[in-house]
Every structure is written in C-alpha cells, then in structure tokens.
C-alpha cells in the first residue's frame, strides 16, 4: 500500500504525465456524458423494446461496446465501431491495391492521406448503419418517435454520423494529448460501464437460486482466465543476435550477444476488435429487414453469439486477423537489414534473406498458439452461457470484453511506467516491468 501511495505521488510530480492523465479522464468523461444524450425526436420513456434488444445477442455486444448508448438511443448509439470497420477496409486495401501500398511507404504525408480516406469511409459506413438503426427503431419502438418520420430519419442519420465522428475525434485527442490509445480506451470505458451491472445481475441470479457457491467458482475461473491472458499478452520468445567485433579508435568493441524479443501475441487486442467489428455486419443487415422471416432466420443465426456458426466464423476471423496484424507490426526483412547494417547475425543463420526467413518462420510458429488461445477465449462466452451464466455476465467470462480490458489496461499502465522510468522514478511494479504492446513496437493500435 505504501508503494502504491508513493507511485501516485511520483505520477503527480511529473507535470506532463499528470496533465496527460487528467486530459484522458476529461475526454472519457465527455464521452460518457454524451452517451446519455438522447436523439432529437425520441421519447426515452418508450424505449423498453430497444432496451430489451440491447440486453442479449450480438446487439447486446454492440450495446456493451457503446457503453449502453445503443439501447438508450443516444447520439453516440453507434459508438466507435464504424471507424474501426473503416480502418479494417483501408488496411486490407493497403495489402491489395498498389496506390494504398505507395501511401503506406510515404511516411507522414502518406499517413495523413490514409487517415483522410479512413474518415471519409467512416462517414459512409456510419450513415448506412444510422439508416439501419432508424429502420429498426421504427419496427420495434415506433411509439418512441414523436416527430415527423422523414424529419426524424434525416436528423437521426446526421446526428448519429456526427456523434461517431465526434467520438473518433475524442479518441484521436486522447492518443495525442492523453495516455494510452484513445480508440481502445473509449471501447474499454464502455465495457467497464457495464461490468458492475453484469456482476450484480449474476450475483442476484445465483443468490435467488441458492447457488452462491457457483458464483464463487465463476470468480475463481475468471481470475484464472485473466491471469493466463496476461501471460499470453506479456509472453516473448527471444532470438539471440551476435554482433561482430569492431575497432573504433584505440578501443575494441564486439563479441556482444543481445536478444530480439518476439512477442507470442504481437497483435495485442486488435484481432479481437477487428473480428468483432466484422461480426456486427449481420446486426446491421437485420435492422434493414425487420419483417423478412427468411432473412431474419439466416441473420439471427449469425447474430446469436451462442450458435455454432457464429462462433466458428468468429474464431476463424480472430485467427486470420492475428496473423494479419502481426504481419503489419513485425517486418522480418527490415529487422534482418538493420542487423546486417549493425554487424549483427543470428548464430547458424546467414545474414540477409536467410535471416529474414528465419525470423518469419519463428514468428509464424509462436503466433499460432497465441492466435488459437485468442480464438478460444473469444468464444468462451458461448460456453459460459450454455452452462447457465447470466447473458450479461457471460460477455465478461472470457470473450472480447475480457481480452480488450486486459490488453488496454496493460498498454496504458506500460505507458505510465515508461514516463516514470524515464524520469528515474520506480515503475508501477517492483518485481518487473509491465509489458504491453508498446513494448513490442505495436502501440499504435489503429
């Protein structure tokens, strides 16, 4: 306890870190307050159907990511997910279209253009999802709309699009002037907002059935899953690098062995966020066709997080995005070139192309168990729900929520610790460094 108080005092002494933390808290507070501002033309008292829809299924997950804003018909009802969907599309285009590949190599100017295209695409995706939101609202809670339908449709599309763009701006400001990755923190704060209610609902359910012992077992199992997830996020495989002898002036340098730390999960929580964003597509489609029985049947299967097909597709997407995002972060050719320029080599491996191939093969092998574990934890809520865990709490029993919480918290704490160590203060942990994605060069999540 004394060490924690001392660490808090050290954080307060560092002006830049203190201001960044306060900025982050302020921006997150603005986001949370905005999630309670209801859309113009809506009667909040008549939103029972929308509240019920936002308690379960894939729309329940979307509502959780938006911090409950979806079920409240808030101006932030669509949250940040349209921006993430746009980011996925742009990054995929960067792998397939030469023009975007060229932009990725142009440094800061190319990055600005890519960000601009991402924003344009975000507007288009948000407008489409906003239209689907209006159709769904008309179908299940028509009595909640108290103004002209055409006017309501126009105003809602404009307000929801503006709301998502404002949330995106808040995320960028947190990244620039705060601590941690802004987009990830906004998603995390929405999830945390639902955690107390989920815990209370599960506790109430177990106490009413006289099975509190099962609640304690769930808590122990959840703690074990969190511990294993932290081990996965922080796990590394070290590759030894030998540096040749060099003579500078009258001094001899060399014969030094160093290590390249390759993370088991270099992609962090991004595969989960990307895969979940794509899984929201059925939820968007279903809102456009509220009266189609065939369409509802097909899309409902892909919207039910307990169904076999949903979990199969979701698990495969997590696997694919883990390899995809790892490939974006870890560049074996660049690592091999840097080693060669600095007179380094991996013992038993020829410098240059062979070194790049060796690093790539090692990275592929260590990424596989990490990707499989991510996919397994991602689909755990389905098993928890089948075993009788309350649907609200099941989302935290593994799954996207848990992985995002663990990954984002570790990343943010790692940045705080970096500020402390840079100014010669003790870190947050006396027993060792906190390792997040930033330590592996993957701090820029989106």
Task: Name all domains of the chain by residue range, CATH numbers in brackets.
Answer: 16-179 (1.10.3370.10), 195-446 (1.10.3370.10)
Q: What pLDDT is stored for residue 79 in this prediction? A: 87
Whether 59 has a pLDDT exceeding 60, the answer reads yes
* Cα separations in angstroms, 64 against 31, 190, 355, 392: 14, 6, 45, 9
More confident residue, 167 or 418: 167
Task: Summarize the confidence of residues 172-195 as an average pLDDT.
Answer: 88
Q: How confident is the model at residue 123 (pLDDT cuts 50, 70, 90)?
A: very high
Average model confidence (pLDDT) across the chain: 80
Query: Of the segments 232-241, 388-397, 406-415, which one has the largest average pLDDT value?
Result: 406-415
Q: What pLDDT is stored for residue 25 in this prediction? A: 93
Whole-angstrom Cα Rg for the chain: 24
More confident residue, 61 or 167: 167
- By the 8 A CB rule, do 299 and 285 touch? yes
Q: How far apart are CA 36 and CA 59, in angstroms?
A: 18
Q: How far apart are CA 378 and CA 355, in angstroms?
A: 34
Task: Summarize the confidence of residues 301-314 as an average pLDDT.
Answer: 80
Q: How confident is the model at residue 28 (pLDDT cuts 50, 70, 90)?
A: very high
Q: How confident is the model at residue 299 (pLDDT cuts 50, 70, 90)?
A: low
Percent of the chain whose predicted confidence (pLDDT) is above 90:
15
Q: What share of the chain is helix, strand, coil (3-state, %, to 5)?
A: 70, 5, 25
Q: How far apart are CA 51 and CA 203, in angstroms?
A: 21
Q: What pLDDT is stored for residue 429 in this prediction? A: 58
Q: What pLDDT is stored for residue 201 in this prediction? A: 82
Whether 319 has a pLDDT exceeding 50, the answer reads yes
More confident residue, 1 or 353: 353
Q: What pLDDT is stored for residue 438 in this prediction? A: 44
Task: Summarize the confidence of residues 100-125 as an average pLDDT.
Answer: 88
- The first and second tokens of residue 446, run together, are 């989106």
Sign of torsion, CA 156 160 166 169? negative
Whether 303 has a pLDDT exceeding 80, the answer reads no
pTM reported for the whole predicted model: 0.77
More confident residue, 376 or 4: 376
Q: How far apart are CA 373 and CA 235, in angstroms?
A: 13
Give the torsion through C-alpha atoms of 441, 365, 101, 180, to 10 deg: -30
Whether 140 has a pLDDT exceeding 60, the answer reads yes
The model's pLDDT over 324-365, given as tens digits with 9 standing for 90+, comes to 888 878 888 888 888 888 777 788 888 888 888 888 888 888
Task: Summarize the confidence of residues 31-47 as an average pLDDT.
Answer: 88
Q: What pLDDT is stored for residue 135 in this prediction? A: 84
Q: What pLDDT is stored for residue 119 in this prediction? A: 92
Percent of the chain whose predicted confidence (pLDDT) is above 70:
83
Residue 226's closest CA among 403, 1, 434, 383?
403
Q: How far apart are CA 445 and CA 317, in angstroms?
A: 18
Q: What pLDDT is stored for residue 2 in this prediction? A: 62
Q: How far apart are CA 326 and CA 271, in angstroms?
A: 9
More confident residue, 210 or 72: 72
Residue 257: strand pairing partners: 242
Task: Summarize the confidence of residues 189-200 as an average pLDDT.
Answer: 85
- The first and second tokens of residue 123, run together, are 């507007």
Whether 206 has a pLDDT exceeding 90, the answer reads no
Whether 439 has a pLDDT exceeding 70, the answer reads no
Task: Summarize the confidence of residues 366-373 as an average pLDDT.
Answer: 85
């Amino acid at each position: 306890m004394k060490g924690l108080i001392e660490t808090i005092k050290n954080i307060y002494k560092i002006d830049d870190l203190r201001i960044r933390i306060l900025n982050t808290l302020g921006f997150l507070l603005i986001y949370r307050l905005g999630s309670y501002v209801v859309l113009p033309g809506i009667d909040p008292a008549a939103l029972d159907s929308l509240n019920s829809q936002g308690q379960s299924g894939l729309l329940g997950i979307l509502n959780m990511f938006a911090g409950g804003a979806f079920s409240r018909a808030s101006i932030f009802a669509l949250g940040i997910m349209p921006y993430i969907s746009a980011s996925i599309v742009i990054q995929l285009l960067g792998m397939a279209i030469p023009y975007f590949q060229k932009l990725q190599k142009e440094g800061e100017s190319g990055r600005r253009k890519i960000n601009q295209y991402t924003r344009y695409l975000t507007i288009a995706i948000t407008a489409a999802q906003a239209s689907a939101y209006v159709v769904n609202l008309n179908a299940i809670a028509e009595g909640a709309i108290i103004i002209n339908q055409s006017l309501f449709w126009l105003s809602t599309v404009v307000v929801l699009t503006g709301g998502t763009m404002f949330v995106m701006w808040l995320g960028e400001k947190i990244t620039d002037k705060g601590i941690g990755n802004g987009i990830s923190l906004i998603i995390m704060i929405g999830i945390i907002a639902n955690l107390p209610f989920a815990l209370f609902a599960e506790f109430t359910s177990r106490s009413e059935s006289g099975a509190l012992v099962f609640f304690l077992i769930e808590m122990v199992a959840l703690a074990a899953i969190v511990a294993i997830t932290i081990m996965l996020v922080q796990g590394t495989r070290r590759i030894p690098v030998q540096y040749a002898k060099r003579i500078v002036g009258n001094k001899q340098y060399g014969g030094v062995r160093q290590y390249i730390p390759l993370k088991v999960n270099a992609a962090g929580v991004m595969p989960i966020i990307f895969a979940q964003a794509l899984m929201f597509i059925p939820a968007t489609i279903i809102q456009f066709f509220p009266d189609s029985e065939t369409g509802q049947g097909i899309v409902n299967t892909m919207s039910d997080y307990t169904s076999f097909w949903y979990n199969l597709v979701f698990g495969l997407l997590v696997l694919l995005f883990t390899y995809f995002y790892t490939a974006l972060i870890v560049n074996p050719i660049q690592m091999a070139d840097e080693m060669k320029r600095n007179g380094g080599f991996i013992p038993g491996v020829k410098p240059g192309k062979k070194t790049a191939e060796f690093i790539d093969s090692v990275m592929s092998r260590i990424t596989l168990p990490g990707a499989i574990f991510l996919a397994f934890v991602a689909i755990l809520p389905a098993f928890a729900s089948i075993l009788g865990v309350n649907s609200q709490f099941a989302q935290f029993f593994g799954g996207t929520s848990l992985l995002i919480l663990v990954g984002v918290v570790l990343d943010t704490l790692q940045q705080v610790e970096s500020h402390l160590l840079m100014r010669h203060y003790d870190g947050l942990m006396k027993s060792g460094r906190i390792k997040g994605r930033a330590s592996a060069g993957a701090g820029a999540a989106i």
